[in-house]
């Protein structure tokens, strides 16, 4: 990396702070008021991932890179004793306020994921991450070490994430055929991305438009999470995803997005689990 990691992470933190009011004002993508008003409501991601997780009642859970915490609070509604961690101070501020209004026992702390051990104590039954998180981290082996350090022996790590193939896809408007137009393999150097809009519509503008992102191939991801005392136990690829990004996706009745011209053609999302060795 040509800059210190701290410079990249500070730029990304400012960008995510700017996104928070946009996401808070989004009535469809996050629907904070609906989440608060309905104590039975779970996020789409939590409803999906709960099928892969054990009964959460009484289990301790750490949610890394939790953003404004609706997934985190969903896990609390399913019985977990959960802490959410995020780089963005504005995300944590909103998450804490929403948790209070929703009478949720979820707790929130601000930290870069690599430094989470400086603010979070103890070991957890489950460490959880989801959707659009790995591109913000340059070193997945270091992440795996952080995950392992927080897990009890026999504890479970769960990740649901955008598939690296999906981030490489584009569909030219002339023939609507899928093509790989962006890099798939990691390069070590970050992609410099300039954008004043977020992935959801809402009120407000992003003032800090520069972000730094890192590509990770599936091979790199799997290899990283089979180290640091972690044993891979599940890898499922899904022909649908959580965002209308890349190809012109269509929303299914269940809330997920798929490629309409042959939805089984490409993976758009995957779920990975690993267990920490020991008893």
Q: What angle do CA 5, 19, 169 make, to 5 degrees?
A: 75
CA-based end-to-end distance of the chain? 38
CA neighbor of 266 nearest in space, from 245, 237, 244: 237
* Gyration radius (Cα) of the chain, Å: 18
Q: Is the pLDDT of residue 8 over 70?
A: yes
Q: Domain 5-274 has what CATH class?
A: alpha beta
pLDDT of residue 181: 78
DSSP output for 148-197:
HHHEEEEEEEEEEEE-HHHHHEE--TTT---EE-S--S--SSPEEEE-S-
Cβ pair 155, 127 in contact under 8 A: yes
d(CA 121, CA 106): 16
d(CA 149, CA 156): 12
Cα–Cα distance list, 194 to 2, 56, 188, 197, 262 (Å): 18, 40, 19, 9, 32
CA neighbor of 246 nearest in space, from 158, 201, 182: 182
d(CA 153, CA 147): 12
Q: What is the pLDDT of residues 225-262, one digit of tens each?
A: 998 899 999 999 999 988 766 556 788 888 888 877 76
* Local structure of 279: helix, strand or coil: coil
pLDDT of residue 202: 67
pLDDT of residue 177: 67
pLDDT of residue 278: 78
**Residue 257 — φ and ψ, nearest 5°?**
-110, 140
Q: What is the pLDDT of residues 45-95, one digit of tens each?
A: 999 999 999 999 999 999 999 999 999 999 999 999 999 999 999 999 999
d(CA 165, CA 181): 11
Cβ pair 48, 159 in contact under 8 A: no
What average pLDDT does the structure give for the chain? Answer: 90
pLDDT of residue 172: 57
Q: Tell me the pLDDT band of 176, cut-offs 50, 70 and 90.
A: low
| Six token digits for residue 267 | 């993976």
């Amino acid at each position: 990396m040509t800059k210190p990691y701290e410079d990249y992470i500070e730029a990304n933190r400012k960008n995510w702070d700017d996104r928070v009011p946009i996401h808070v004002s989004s009535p469809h993508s996050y629907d904070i008021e609906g989440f608060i008003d309905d104590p039975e409501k779970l996020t789409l991601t939590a409803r999906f991932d709960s099928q892969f997780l054990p009964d959460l009642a009484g289990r301790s859970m750490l949610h890394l890179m939790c953003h404004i915490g609706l997934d985190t609070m969903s896990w609390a509604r399913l019985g977990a004793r959960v802490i959410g961690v995020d780089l963005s101070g504005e995300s944590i501020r909103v998450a804490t306020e929403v948790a209070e209004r929703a009478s949720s026992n979820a707790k929130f702390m601000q930290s870069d994921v690599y430094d989470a051990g400086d603010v979070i104590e103890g070991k957890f039954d489950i460490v959880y991450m989801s959707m659009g998180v790995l591109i913000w981290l340059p070193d997945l082996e270091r992440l795996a070490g952080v995950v392992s350090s927080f897990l009890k022996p026999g504890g479970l790590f769960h990740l649901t994430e955008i598939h690296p193939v999906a981030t490489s896809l584009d569909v030219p408007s002339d023939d609507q055929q899928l093509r790989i137009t962006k890099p798939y393999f990691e390069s070590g150097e970050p992609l410099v991305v300039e954008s004043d809009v977020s992935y959801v519509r809402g009120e407000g503008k992003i003032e800090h438009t520069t972000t730094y992102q890192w590509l990770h191939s599936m091979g790199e991801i799997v290899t990283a999470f089979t180290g640091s005392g972690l044993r891979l136990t599940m890898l499922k690829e899904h022909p649908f995803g959580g965002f209308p990004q890349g190809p012109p996706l269509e929303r299914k009745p269940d809330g997920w997005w798929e490629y309409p011209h042959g939805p089984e053609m490409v993976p758009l999302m995957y779920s990975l689990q690993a267990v920490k060795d020991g008893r």
